[in-house]
């Protein structure tokens, strides 16, 4: 099975975010970056399918030069090779033109399965996978908990709302977006890290792919949300803060 996993590099989850002076994005000078967590689960699902059925896992990532670090980590975990669409500034690409980049880069690979996370932790549109499926003319399913090969196709378990699930069958090639948390993520081994250094990373640019940035929606201004609720915050040493909180819960909220 030839599997492509689309991954994204995003600011680390516990980053303290500040708004950039332009008001168009966050201040990114002292941020650290990591793989988008949902994509880490997509990569894990891809590696497990390869272990079971054989084949190849190719990591596909659009991002600036710093994304090479995240790509190396995917190779160290077991991806066989990678494609890096290297663009310093992807801000001009909306989810559709961004997906066009991915589609153009993977078309010549003719994969059996394309996997990605269900959403990104930074922009959070939750659309790239489905847009990519439409651009590639592939059937798709989203928020997938497990994948089983059956006959010439696959049977997947889709998460619905309120604790419900549904199995869906489809032929290959297909695209799936993977739910986070469905398996335990592997760590890269020392051997894996060593091997990753010799694995191929094919670099292409948007220009090579013939894709130009376009935005049919524009992000006008980013800002910290205003609190709609008046939250009483207690600070000071933990002992004092705890005592103040309990007093409020007892005499004001009357829940104790």
Q: Is 256 exposed, middle or buried (0-12, 13-18, 19+ CB in 10 A)?
A: exposed
CB 189 to another protein: min, Å? 22
Which of 19, 68 has the CB closer to another protein? 19
**Cα–Cα dist 184/194, whole Å:** 23
Side by side, the strands of the sheet bearing 140-150 are 153-159, 140-150, 174-178, 113-117, 2-7, 56-63, 81-86, 201-204
Binding to another protein (CB under 8 A): which residues in 136-175? 139-143, 159-171
CB 162 to another protein: min, Å? 8
Instruction: Give the x-and-dash track for 230-249 against another protein (CB under 8 A).
Output: xxxxxx--xx-xxx-xxxxx
CB 23 to another protein: min, Å? 10
Does residue 108 touch another protein according to CB under 8 A? no
Contact 93, 37 (CB under 8 A): no
**Cα–Cα dist 97/37, whole Å:** 22
Which of 51, 169 has the CB closer to another protein? 169
**Binding residues for another protein, total number by CB under 8 A:** 77
Binding to another protein (CB under 8 A): which residues in 178-197? 180-182
Burial 145-170, CB ≥16 within 10 A → b, else e? bbbeeeeebbebbbeeeeeeeeeeeb
Kindly indicate which of the ranges 63-71, 79-87, 95-103, 189-197 contains the residues binding another protein, using the contact rule CB under 8 A.
95-103
CB 75 to another protein: min, Å? 26
**Cα–Cα dist 79/58, whole Å:** 6
Does residue 107 touch another protein according to CB under 8 A? no
CB 21 to another protein: min, Å? 15
CB 240 to another protein: min, Å? 9
Does residue 29 touch another protein according to CB under 8 A? no
Contact 146, 165 (CB under 8 A): no
Q: Count the residues in the chain.
A: 256
Which of 208, 247 has the CB closer to another protein? 247
CB 129 to another protein: min, Å? 8
Residue 78 CB partners (closer than 8 Å, separation 6+): 47, 50, 57, 186, 192
Binding to another protein (CB under 8 A): which residues in 33-92? none
- From residue 112, alpha-carbon distances to 115, 169, 190 in Å are 10, 15, 30
Which of 12, 65 has the CB closer to another protein? 12
Kindly indicate which of the ranges 73-81, 105-113, 195-203, 226-234 contains the residues binding another protein, using the contact rule CB under 8 A.
226-234
Does residue 122 touch another protein according to CB under 8 A? yes
Q: Virtual CA dihedral for 97, 100, 101, 106, nearest 10 degrees?
A: 170
């Amino acid at each position: 099975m030839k599997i492509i996993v689309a991954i994204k590099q995003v600011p680390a989850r516990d980053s303290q975010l500040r708004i950039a002076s332009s008001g168009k994005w966050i201040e990114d000078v002292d941020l650290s970056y990591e793989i988008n967590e949902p994509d880490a689960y997509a990569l894990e699902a891809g590696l497990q399918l390869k272990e079971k059925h054989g084949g190849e896992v190719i990591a596909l990532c659009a991002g600036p030069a710093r994304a090479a670090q995240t790509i190396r980590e995917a190779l160290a975990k077991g991806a066989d090779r990678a494609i890096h669409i290297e663009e310093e500034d992807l801000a001009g690409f909306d989810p559709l033109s961004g997906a066009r980049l991915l589609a153009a880069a993977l078309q010549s690979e003719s994969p059996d399965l394309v996997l990605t996370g269900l959403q990104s932790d930074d922009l959070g549109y939750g659309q790239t996978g489905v847009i990519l499926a439409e651009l590639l003319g592939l059937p798709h399913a989203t928020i997938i908990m497990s994948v089983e090969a059956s006959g010439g196709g696959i049977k997947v378990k889709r998460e619905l709302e309120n604790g419900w699930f549904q199995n869906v069958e489809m032929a290959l090639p297909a695209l799936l977006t993977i739910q986070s948390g469905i398996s335990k993520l592997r760590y890269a081994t020392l051997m894996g890290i060593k091997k990753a250094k010799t694995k191929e990373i094919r670099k292409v640019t948007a220009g090579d792919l013939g894709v130009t940035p376009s935005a049919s929606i524009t992000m006008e201004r980013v800002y910290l949300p205003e609190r709609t609720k008046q939250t009483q915050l207690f600070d000071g040493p933990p002992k004092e803060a705890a005592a103040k909180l309990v007093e409020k819960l007892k005499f004001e909220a009357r829940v104790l």
